């Protein structure tokens, strides 16, 4: 096992860790808006670190270019999906749980 393998596995395992924590967050957090924050972890760091780990396995080949492109497209599309979900929830009159800071302003 070379040092590239080691780097690759560290990266993949770290990615899996973030995906797992995202899943735990999805269960632990109280409402749809806070759960979106947890879901956001899986498609930024989670997917990103797994893809980086896989590209260490592939080396300097076209496959690495494609893996990085997958991540790039993910970074462009996932915030739009998150945004659309949050908007849909707001439109459906799902009240976000909020702390009270004592101010009157919404």
Partner 1 sequence: MARILGLWVTLFAVWLLLSGHYTPLLISFGMGSCALTVYIAVRMDVADQEGVPFAWAGRFLLFLPWLLKEILVANIKVAKIILSPSLPISPIMVVFRSTQKTDLGRALYANSITLTPGTISTGVDGDRVEVHALTWRDLGGWEEDEMGRRASKVEGAS
Tell me which residues touch partner 1 (CB under 8 A). 17-18, 21, 24-25, 28-31, 33-34, 36-38, 40-41, 44-45, 62, 65-66, 69, 75-76, 78-80, 82-83, 86-87, 90, 96-99, 101, 106
* Closest CB 2 distance from partner 1, rounded Å: 25
Query: Is the separation of the CB atoms in 6 and 36 below 8 Å?
Result: no
Residue 10 vs 83, nearer CB to partner 1? 83
Q: What is the DSSP string of 3-27?
A: HHHHHHHHHHHHHHHHHHHHHHHHH
Residue 10 vs 79, nearer CB to partner 1? 79
The first and second tokens of residue 56, run together, are 């260490």
Residues 102, 23: Cα–Cα separation, whole Å: 33
* Closest CB 45 distance from partner 1, rounded Å: 4
Coil, helix or strand at residue 67: helix
């Amino acid at each position: 096992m070379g040092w590239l393998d080691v780097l690759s596995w560290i990266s993949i395992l770290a990615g899996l860790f973030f995906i797992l924590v995202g899943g735990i967050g999805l269960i632990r957090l109280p409402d749809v808006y806070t759960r979106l924050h947890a879901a956001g972890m899986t498609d930024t760091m989670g997917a990103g670190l797994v893809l980086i780990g896989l590209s260490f396995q592939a080396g300097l080949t076209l496959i690495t270019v494609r893996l990085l492109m997958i991540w790039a497209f993910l970074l462009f599309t996932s915030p739009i999906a998150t945004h659309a979900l949050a908007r849909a929830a707001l439109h459906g009159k799902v009240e976000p749980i909020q702390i009270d800071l004592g101010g009157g302003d919404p």
